[in-house]
Structures are given as C-alpha cells and as structure tokens.
Structure 1
C-alpha cells in the first residue's frame, strides 16, 4: 500500500484548515459588522459562491488565476521561482478555496447568535472592539466556530474536483486520497481502492463524532447560560 496519498492529504488538510480557519473568522467578522444590508448580501454571496459551484468549475477559475501563463502564476514563477499550478501548493489552494465557505458560514452563524446585550455591556465598560471580539464573542461562539473548523478540515481532506483541475494527479506529489481512489478504480485495482476508501470512511466518521461533540458542548453551554440568567 502506498502511504503517500495519506500523507499528502493530511498535510494538505492540516495547512489548509489553518489558513481557512483564520480567513473564515476574519471574513465572518467583517460581514457581521457591516451595517449596509445590500452590501452584506452581495459580499456574503461572493464568499459563499464556492459552496454552490461545482468543484471542477472552481478548479477552472483557480487554474485561470495561478496557471503558468496567468498573472499570479507567472508572477510567482518569475520572481520567486515557484510554480503554483500542478504542485503540492496547488492542492492546498484548492482545499482552501473549497472548504472556506463552510468555515465562513459556520463562523458567521455562531457570531450572529451571540447575545448582543453582552456586547453592548462590554462597550459600556470601555472595552475596545478587538477585546470585545476576542474576550466576549469568540468564547461564546467557540463551539460553532470549532464545529465549522472540523467540517472544513474534512472538506479539504476529501476535495477531488478542484484538486484534479489545478494540481493534477501526480503520484507522490499531488495525489490525495480521493485521487488515489479514482486512480485505482480506473486501473481496475479494486483492492487498493477499498483500502483508501476504508481510511476515508474512518476519518469521516471521526469528523462526524467531533462535530456532534462540539454541537453538544454548545447546547450544554447555552442551557447553563439560561439557568444563570435571572
């Protein structure tokens, strides 16, 4: 059994979730704080678009941007000597692009459920907006944010369409677990495909358990908070 698809997938998902986590939180905070409803609706639509587009279409857009003959790809290749398309970096870019909307939507929903009375009380105490965000909003929204992070990690780990478009299916370099399953099935090696499928199923089950854990924690926290209220 070739373990390179497992290692590549884990490395890709691990780096992509770090990027997606903080990027999703930042964008969610920006949208929540917007006062203009129409601008909020348009920006939310743009940020959520990768969630509804077919992954291959997202891969096409990414390839159009970071391809060797495209502005971003040509810039990195000329000034840094880094080829973005059809490299391991491209697998991370694809995973971030596809998993970002889930992190963003989860974080936004969690922030919108925070009791605004607590936020207003913090402002009356003279706390800065940054402190309010990190000391008040984040602790209250943490179960929802963490659940979104877990889901985004799984989505990045299981990404196929965009990765195939922008990174290719290069053995030992860009072949992730889903691409390994596809390659083995295409080659008629069903036994090899079964092994990779089993690994994906186990990881997916662990993701579902983790999501349920964070959901239960959020529910328990909400019940405790209501009991403390007069």
Structure 2
C-alpha cells in the first residue's frame, strides 16, 4: 500500500513528518513533490496550476506498482489537487486511488471565491480561489471512496455541505468533524491522519 501526501499552503514536510514516521511497514508514505513551492488556491486558473497537475501525475506514476493499492491524502489546496490528479490518472488509463482523504476543502462546485469570503481574515485568502472554480460537468465519477475532514469552525469547508463530495464518486463518501477552524490540522493532524490510517488498515490491508 502506498499513501501519497499532497502539499498544501504552509509547511508540507512538517505537516506529515511526525505521523508518517510511525506508519507500519506495510504502508509506504510518499510525499508528492512539486518543483513549484508556495502554491495555493490562488493558482487554480494559472499556468502554475496546470504545471502542478502535470508534476503530481508524473511523481505519482513513477511510484506506482502494478496491482498495489494506493490512496491520497490532502488538505485545502492539496485536497483539490488530489481530486484533479485522480481524474488525470483515470483519463490516462491508470488505476485510480482506492481512497481520497480530503481535508479542509469544500466540494468543487461549492468552493467560495475571494469576493464571497468577506468575513475571512486576509491571511486566509490563499485558501480561496480568485474566480469561480467549476470542474467539467460531463466527466465520469471517480471510483475512489472519499473521506472528508473538517474543523467544526472551518469557514472554508462547512460541515453541512461536505456530503456534496458524494456526487463525485460512485463509492462511499463519509464526513469526519474535528475540533477547530481551517487550521485544525496543525493542532490535530496526528488524530485525523490516524483516522485515515485506521481506515486504510481496516479496508485495504486485511
């Protein structure tokens, strides 16, 4: 089993370091490396977003082993990147991830733009698209199970809207609520990643 961790706004290496070092030998952690750094939701309409998708697909493709299960983990911008990379892999005829663990990100059709986020602090704008983000409406659903995580005070990923992610998969979509705001993963990353690890071990390692 390979578990791919996607970069996000902030310090990627510190976010996953403590947890991934404790994974059992049967699960290999691989951080998706991009040549570009400091990317965020601001970039989703730019050439940098397209480049990030291509880099992520290439990085993951090099690690895949035939018939080996793999899953994605992402937070905020990393969640959207993981979702879109899954479609790129499917479009290339490659097997999709078995599971997407997405944190702090609304379903694509519900992402709020900066202009709609008037109540947020300026430092939070990096987690908001500059313009309206809409995925193609005619593409096939993923065949990956989706687990969505949010903080109970996260204004970027409202609890009552997270079930909307279910429209993007033909498999189960479940929602997990943690304590805190959009930065809940900084204080509680071990706990929610351990939930993801537990699901992986229960569903895919038996």
* Same fold? TM cut 0.5: no
Higher-helix-fraction structure: 1
Per chain length, whose mean CA-contact separation is higher, i.e. which structure has more relative contact order (CA < 8 Å, sep 6+)? 1
TM-score w.r.t. the length of structure 2 is: 0.28
